Amino acid sequence: MTMMDRKLDAEHPLFQVQGLSKYYGSRIGCADVSFDLYPGEVLGIVGESGSGKSTLLSCLAGHLTPDTGRVIFDTAVGPRDTVIMAEAERRRMARTDWAFVHQNPRDGLRMGVSAGGNVGERLMAIGARHYGEIRGQAIDWLGRVEIAADRIDDRPSAFSGGMQQRLQIARNLVTAPRLVFMDEPTGGLDVSVQARLLDLLRGLVRDLGLSAIIVTHDLAVVRLLADRLMVMKDGRVVEQGLTDQVLDDPQHAYTQLLVSSVLQV
Amino acid sequence: MTDQAYNFAYLDEQTKRMIRRAILKGIAVPGYQVPFASREMPMPYGWGTGGVQVTAACLTPVDVLKVIDQGADDTTNAVSIRKFFQRTAGIAVTEATQEATIIQTRHRIPETSLTTGQILVYQVPIPEPLRFLEPRETETRKMHELEEYGLMHVKLYEDIARHGTIATSYDYPVKVEGRYVMDPSPIPKFDNPKLSDSPAIQLFGAGREQRIYALPPYTNVVSLDFDDHPFQPSKAPHDCDLCGAADSYLDEVITDDQGGRMFVCSDTDFCRSRRAAGHVGRLGSAAVEASE
């Protein structure tokens, strides 16, 4: 089987999490989380504040070291446990095969560097050394996230919140990652900008065949983007399944509460 | 003439030993910033406290010292450091590059080629080339450790995007032996090619930041650039107005308030020896200048 076949092969999970736990002293961050993510699949993680969503995402993305459990990613050389992988290798993977979209674009962008430099950074980090090509790709990606090409030399501080978030997405996707972690990607944006961003994200995920893990407390976001849904409470997964199934026919009491709490306009 | 109240070359022997160990480690790992316990020196930070400590640790009674500041032997910084070592070590001093065994420098490499056995000591204000892009020391150390140097090119990218060309003209980042990215101290990028393959030992001391790094003789040093925007050493497009040299780095000197100016070699020893050899520039007069 060639590598291309492997990537598209829905038989092999892209990302496997087994028995992952993280404790802060005696407090639970997240406990005993397991799931498989297949290529092209989008997993939503919902739950209230403090339910361990962000802790889980940080453990998955390698920003935190879990206390127990395995996080297995299907790398170019086969499945590897990223928890015990050498740091150099994990960081290389984090800037090629993975991407991380922060809730606050200021955390994910370099505010003192122009939009083009922000998008080009990942390319330069993996060895691109041709200015013209880097700039060409930056312009291409700014176009894809609906930022005008003449803003390429402006700093992100001159951008609106929605533009900053789109710039952050472009900066992350420029190296064609296979797995994208998103932490509340629409948080802090007004509803119309949220809608456009969701539209854009949905298009990108579908066009590029990305796998994504999206942490959010906004059920509308997962309804639109996620194939599968995981509901967390107090650090544990209380329910998981297909998004529509979980949202339309919630089984767990907490999920029922969560779904019924959404304001109907 | 040595002031007997001080140990030879001011620092006590244990301190010199500590600094020598840092220097040896630096030479063993070219371009790597070795932390060292920088001492208070009787001069303010920014005046070359790092360079002075490295020089003090290298000096022996038979050494001949030359000190230059922006290429000149007769500016305040150079004069005071030279006096400092004359007084505390009683060593011989010189202004001639080829006669010196140790040359402490601020912001220039001498025009005259260095030779085997010479030591060039640089004063370094900020040893971390990634500092202005990544403020966290823990993170920059990690980046050096894992050779994550993409960020350095982001800086050059920003230069081209803003100015159309790599506008960084001094403090131009280099890569040492294909491994560590190093800050060459604020020398003009005109001097960068001289860092590579030099027969002399090059030592870098940063007193406030407490770092020492080094280039052993004949080390390969490459200035970072882009394929389509290659590194170009630059200088003012003039000849020296005193000695006529076309290939030396020039200072611009404003001569009046009518827009009058002249360009002179920043390396005063180089300029003087050329004039002594009979070279005359646009504004120089051979006889007067040579008899100075």
pLDDT digits (tens, 9 = 90+) for A58-89: 999 999 999 999 999 998 888 999 999 998 88
Whole-number pLDDT of residue B286? 53
* DSSP secondary structure code for residue A228 in this structure: E
Q: Name the residue among A87, A88, A124 with its Cβ closest to that of B153.
A: A124
d(CA B60, CA A56): 61
Pairs across A and B, CB distance < 8 A: 53
Residue of A221, A171, A191, A190 whose CA lies nearest to A43: A221
* Contact state of B161 with A88 under an 8 Å Cβ cutoff: no
Q: Which residue of B has its CA nearest to A126?
A: B150
Q: Alpha helix locations (H) across chain A?
A: 3-8, 53-61, 87-94, 105-108, 115-125, 131-144, 161-173, 191-208, 219-225, 243-248, 253-260
* Contact state of B146 with A91 under an 8 Å Cβ cutoff: yes
* Contact state of A122 with B160 under an 8 Å Cβ cutoff: no
The dihedrals phi and psi of A232, each to the nearest 5 degrees, come to -115, 145
Q: Name the residue among A113, A126, A130 with its Cβ closest to that of B154.
A: A113
List, by residue number, the catalytic residues of B. 31, 240, 243, 265, 271
Whole-number pLDDT of residue A221? 87
* Contact state of B146 with A114 under an 8 Å Cβ cutoff: no
**pLDDT above 90 for A50:** no
Whole-number pLDDT of residue A10? 61
Query: Which residues of chain B does A94 touch, with a Cβ-Cβ cutoff of 8 Å?
Result: none
Band (B6; pLDDT cuts 50, 70, 90): confident
Q: Which residue of A has its CA nearest to B147?
A: A88
Q: What is the mean pLDDT of residues B125-141?
A: 92
Buried b / exposed e across A235-253, counting CB within 10 Å, b at 16+?
Answer: bbbbbbbebeebbeebeee
**pLDDT above 70 for A122:** yes
Residue A165: how many CA atoms within 13 Å on its side-chain side?
Answer: 23
Query: Which residues of chain A does B150 touch, with a Cβ-Cβ cutoff of 8 Å?
Result: 121-122, 124-126
d(CA B170, CA B186): 5
Question: Do the bridges between strand B119-123 and strand B102-106 make them parallel or antiparallel, or are there none, so unpaired?
Answer: parallel
Whole-number pLDDT of residue A75? 87
Residues shown for chain B: 292
Residue of A156, A235, A224, A141 whose CA lies nearest to A185: A224
Mean pLDDT of chain B: 93
Encode pLDDT of B167-196 as tens digits: 999 999 999 999 999 999 999 999 999 999
Query: Which residues of chain B does A122 touch, with a Cβ-Cβ cutoff of 8 Å?
Result: 150
Q: Which residue of B has its CA nearest to A122?
A: B150
* Contact state of B227 with A91 under an 8 Å Cβ cutoff: no
pTM of the model: 0.86
Residue of A235, A161, A168 whose CA lies nearest to A194: A161
**pLDDT above 60 for A5:** no
Tell me the C-alpha to C-alpha distance, in Å, between residue B176 and each of A5, A195, B57, B122, B192: 41, 49, 24, 16, 12
Whole-number pLDDT of residue A214? 94
The dihedrals phi and psi of A67, each to the nearest 5 degrees, come to -75, -40
Mean pLDDT of chain A: 89
Q: Name the residue among A87, A110, A131 with its Cβ closest to that of B160.
A: A131
Q: What is the mean pLDDT of residues A108-121?
A: 93
Query: Which residues of chain B does A154 touch, with a Cβ-Cβ cutoff of 8 Å?
Result: none
Q: Please report, rounded to a whole number, the percentage of residues in chain A having pLDDT higher than 90.
A: 63
Query: Which residues of chain A does B148 touch, with a Cβ-Cβ cutoff of 8 Å?
Result: 91, 125
Q: Looking at this protein, which amino acid is placed at residue A154?
A: D
Whole-number pLDDT of residue A61? 93
**pLDDT above 50 for B121:** yes
Helix pair A115-125, A131-144: axis angle to 10 deg: 120
Whole-number pLDDT of residue A77? 86
Q: Which residue has the tokens 């590029």?
A: A208
- Tell me the torsion sign for CA atoms B47, B51, B57, B62: negative
Residue of B64, B124, B69 whose CA lies nearest to B97: B64
Q: What is the mean pLDDT of residues B32-42?
A: 95
Residue A190 is inside which H or E element, if any?
A: none
| DSSP helix/strand/coil, A222 | helix
Q: Is B162 on the interface with A (CB under 8 A)?
A: yes
Q: Answer whether A82's CB lies under 8 Å from A76's CB.
A: no
Q: Is B159 on the interface with A (CB under 8 A)?
A: no
| DSSP helix/strand/coil, A26 | coil
* Contact state of B229 with A131 under an 8 Å Cβ cutoff: yes
**pLDDT above 70 for B227:** yes
Whole-number pLDDT of residue B82? 95
The dihedrals phi and psi of B265, each to the nearest 5 degrees, come to -55, 135
Query: Which residues of chain B does A120 touch, with a Cβ-Cβ cutoff of 8 Å?
Result: 154, 157
Distance of CA B47 to the CA centre of its chain: 13
Q: Is B24 on the interface with A (CB under 8 A)?
A: no
Encode pLDDT of B148-168 as tens digits: 999 999 999 999 999 999 999
ipTM, 2 dp = 0.84
* Contact state of A152 with B161 under an 8 Å Cβ cutoff: yes
First-to-last alpha carbon distance for chain A, in angstroms, is 51
Nearest-neighbour CA in chain A from B210: distance (Å): 27
Q: Which residues pair with B212 in a beta bridge?
A: B34, B205
3-class SS string, chain B: CCCCCCECCECCHHHHHHHHHHHHHHHHCCCCCEECCCCCCCCCCCCCHHHHHHHHHHCCCCCEEEEEECCECCCHHHHHHHHHHHHHHCCEECCCHHHCCEEEEECCCCCCCCCCCCEEEEECCCCCCCCCCCCCHHHHHHHHHCCCCHHHHHHHHHHHHHHCCCCCCECCCEEECCCEEECCCCCEHHHHHHHCCCCCEEEEEECCCCEEEEECCCCCEEECCECCECCCCCCCCCCCCCCCCCCCCEEEEECCCCCCEEEEECCHHHHHHHHHCCCCCCCCCHHHHHCC
Q: Name the residue among A117, A125, A152 with its Cβ closest to that of B148.
A: A125
Residue A15 is inside which H or E element, if any?
A: strand A15-24
d(CA B230, CA A124): 16
Q: Name the residue among B146, B158, B227 with its Cβ closest to that of A113.
A: B158
* Contact state of B151 with A132 under an 8 Å Cβ cutoff: no
How many Cβ atoms sit within 10 Å of the Cβ of residue B282?
12
Mutate which of A110, A131, A150, A151 to test chain B, going by most B C-beta atoms within 10 A? A131
**pLDDT above 70 for A9:** no
Band (A1; pLDDT cuts 50, 70, 90): very low
Residue A186 structure tokens: 């629409």
Nearest-neighbour CA in chain B from A85: distance (Å): 14
Q: Which residues pair with B222 in a beta bridge?
A: B175
Encode pLDDT of A90-99 as tens digits: 988 888 899 9
Q: What is the mean pLDDT of residues A167-196?
A: 88
Residue A49 structure tokens: 């504040």
Mutate which of B131, B163, B223, B226 to test chain A, going by most A C-beta atoms within 10 A? B226
Q: Among the listed ranges A165-179, A182-196, B94-108, B234-248, which one has the minimum average pLDDT value?
A: A182-196
* Contact state of A116 with B226 under an 8 Å Cβ cutoff: no
Q: Among the listed ranges A171-175, A196-200, B204-208, which one has the minimum average pLDDT value?
A: A196-200
